[in-house]
Amino acid sequence: MNFQTHSVLDAHIHYDNPALMPDLIEILDHSQIGKFNIVCTPHTNRLSLVPDALHLKAHYPERVYVFGGLDISGLFTAPAACGVYFAGYLDKLVQMGCDGVKMIEGKPDMRRMLSIPAFDSPAYAPYWAKMEEMSLPLIFHVNDPEEFWDPVLIPDWAKRQGWFYGDGSYVSNEVQYSEVLNLLHRHPGLKVIFAHFFFLSNQLPRLSDYLDEFPNMHIDLTPGIEMYYAFARNPDVARDFFLKYQDRILFGTDIGAKGLLAGGGIDPVDSQIRVDLVRSFLEKEGEFRVVSGQGFLMEKFAGPFQGINLPASVLEKIYHTNFERLAGEHPSPLNPDAIIQECQRLAAVIPAMGAARPGEQADPSVAEMVSHYFREQKGA
């Protein structure tokens, strides 16, 4: 599809293997995405994907931002004191050259797998206080589409991913909303970006109330295909919302999420559909469709969708200036010594932690490779 020329920064990309670097760069160049942000999630047999992201940033220091993930081993070693550990880990992330923090811990399957304490519990309190004090931006995945709790409404593709949460063993979405709102009341300075429109694309008046109440709260546009269906039901209302909250909305695609969940690297077709979907929605007037049946987690969703044709000045904000205001106009520089130290620590901790899933082997190889890479850089 043809779009207007804009400088586009993708705030939400996943990257789980340094071997994917050329593929990722090629896809982003092809999609006319300049700067981008890698959001690091925990990993079942490698603990952390922060080393991969920092290695990528070393190759493209002006182009790559990194929102580091917390070291979830802190949840196992001392769950009741995890907030103290995570608060300390923020210093480490920043020293290494991370630009912010990513938490996927509010995705219900993740929360159950890691036995995560309530976000507003005393266990987490020191961490939130430190986040607010450091003024670090956070991309926070809280909940999932509401139909994932409903045995009738949940889509098949979501069920196949193991994302049916209605059997009573998962946290409910309303419990998590109230935990997170409690946090924002306690820490109104927290610079938070809720991923996937906070899963409230279907309840815009409610989302408006939260955005009005918490001036440091933001949302990203990363699909959730259901968001674009919700917007299409009433494009005029959606457009008014985007105009009103033009300073609080960030562009993102989830490119790389497929590789993370299903293996097989970065899929050019899936990636292009994501970019086309979000940009068409923002820029086109009237009905549009995307290539049907091929996007990962988007099957059966071909549209029609409705574009909201935003003015160029608003697109500029959503495409990059809102992110830059939160995370800086340029990615922060890397500190090789801090990275080497943390990668060496990870390489030692990973085998001790083992793999989270039966049949998997703990894998310290990337942490070792990245530590070796930065040692060589220093020597050069």
Burial 272-304 (b: 16+ CB within 10 A, else e): bbbbbbbbbbbbbeeebebeeeebbbbeebebe
Q: Please, what is the minimum distance in Å from the beta carbon of residue 327 to Zn ion?
A: 16
Nearer of residues 54 and 195 to Zn ion, judged by Cβ? 195
- Residue 69 or 155: which CB sits closer to Zn ion? 69
| H helix intervals, 164-309 | 173-186, 204-213, 225-233, 235-244, 257-262, 268-283
- For residues 359 and 37, give the distance between their C-alpha atoms in angstroms, rounded to a whole number: 32
Count of helices and strands (H, E) across the chain = 17, 12
Handedness of CA 33, 35, 40, 41 (dihedral sign): negative
CA distance linking residue 160 with residue 220, whole number of Å: 25
For position 254 contacting Zn ion by CB under 5 A, the verdict is: yes
Query: Is the CB of residue 96 less than 8 Å from the CB of residue 51?
Result: no
Contact 54, 97 (CB under 8 A): yes
> Between 110 and 134, whose beta carbon lies closer to Zn ion?
110
Minimum CB distance to Zn ion smaller for 221 or for 334: 221
8 A C-beta contact, residue 376 and residue 352: no
Q: With respect to Zn ion, which residue has the nearer C-beta, 85 or 323?
A: 323
Site string for Zn ion, 257-276 (x = CB under 5 A): x-------------------
| Stretch near Zn ion under the rule CB under 5 A, chosen from 82-90, 227-235, 255-263, 281-289 | 255-263
Is 41 within 8 Å of 53 (Cβ atoms)? no
- Per rule CB under 5 A, is residue 342 in the interface with Zn ion? no
Residue among 14, 24, 58 at smallest CA distance from 340: 58
- Minimum CB separation of residue 52 from Zn ion in Å reads 15
- Residue 104 C-beta: closest distance to Zn ion, Å: 7
Nearer to Zn ion, 97 or 223 (CB): 223
Total residues binding Zn ion (CB under 5 A)? 2
Asked if 179 interacts with Zn ion (CB under 5 A), we say: no
CA pair distance 38, 54, nearest whole angstrom:
9
Q: Which stretch binds Zn ion (CB under 5 A): 83-91, 124-132, 163-171, 254-262?
A: 254-262
CA–CA dist 20, 267 (Å, integer): 10
Phi, psi of 294 (to 5 degrees): -115, -20
Of 237 and 261, nearer to Zn ion (C-beta) is 261
The minimum distance between CB 12 and Zn ion, in angstroms, equals 6
Rounded least distance, CB 70 to Zn ion, Å: 16
Stretch of 209-217, 225-233, 256-264, 317-325 contacting Zn ion, by CB under 5 A: 256-264
Quick one: which segment of 111-119, 246-254, 310-318, 360-368 binds Zn ion (CB under 5 A)?
246-254
From CA 279, how far away is CA 319, in angstroms rounded?
Answer: 9
Distance of closest approach, residue 141 Cβ to Zn ion, in angstroms: 7
Minimum CB–partner distance for residue 14 and Zn ion (Å): 6
Name the residue number minimizing CB distance to Zn ion: 254
| Shortest CB 372 distance to Zn ion, Å | 29
Contact set with Zn ion (CB under 5 A): 254, 257
